Structure 1
Amino acid sequence: MPKMKSNSGAKKRFALTGTGKIKRKHAFHSHILTKKSTKRKRRLVKTTLVDDTEKHRVMRLLAL
């Protein structure tokens, strides 16, 4: 049986931490930034972790 391919888009969007958690970036920080507050834009810059309820879906995309 052939190897399972990982999703190329997911490879670019997610990264594994040393403890096995999945890092992701926030959405809504690419355009239409004038109406968003400075505080909101600053929060969107930082990375966060994928929620445990979605972790299995991302793992399947990454073929882990």
Structure 2
Amino acid sequence: MPKLKTKSSVKKRFSLTASGKVRTTQSGKRHGMTKRSKIAIRNQRGTAILNKSDSRIVKLYIPYGL
């Protein structure tokens, strides 16, 4: 059998934790920051862990992990 390829977009956007959860950057911080409160902007920093149903979809595109 040939090896399966990993989707390049998934390599750039997601990473796996040691326990196998999917980590990604916080969403909703691309534009329109003037409308949001400082607290909302501050809470969008860093990374987030995807929930189980979303991470199952992402893991389909990472056949051997990252």
TM range (shorter): 0.7 to 0.9
Give the aligned partner of residue 57 of structure 1.
Answer: 57
Distance between the aligned counterparts of 1:38 and 1:26, measured in 2? 15
Runs of at least 5 residues in structure 2 that lack an aligned partner in the other structure:
none
Runs of at least 4 residues off by over 4 Å: none
Name the SS for the 1:42 alignment partner. helix
The number of equivalent residue pairs is 64
Q: Which residue of 1 aligns with 2:11?
A: 11
| Higher percent of residues as strand | 2
Letter aligned with residue 55 of structure 1: S
TM-score (norm 2): 0.84
* Structure 1 residue 21: Cα displacement: 1.1
Q: Which amino acid aligns with 1:38?
A: K
How far has the Cα of 1:17 moved from its partner? 0.8
Amino acid at match of 1:9: S
Q: Write the mapping of 1:23-62 to structure 2, written as runs, cut at 5 A.
A: 23-62=23-62
Deviations 1:28-59 (A, max 9, x none): 11212111111111111121111011121110
Report the RMSD for the aligned CA atoms in angstroms: 1.2
Task: Find the counterpart in structure 1 of residue 2 from structure 2.
Answer: 2
Unaligned stretches of 5+ residues in structure 1: none
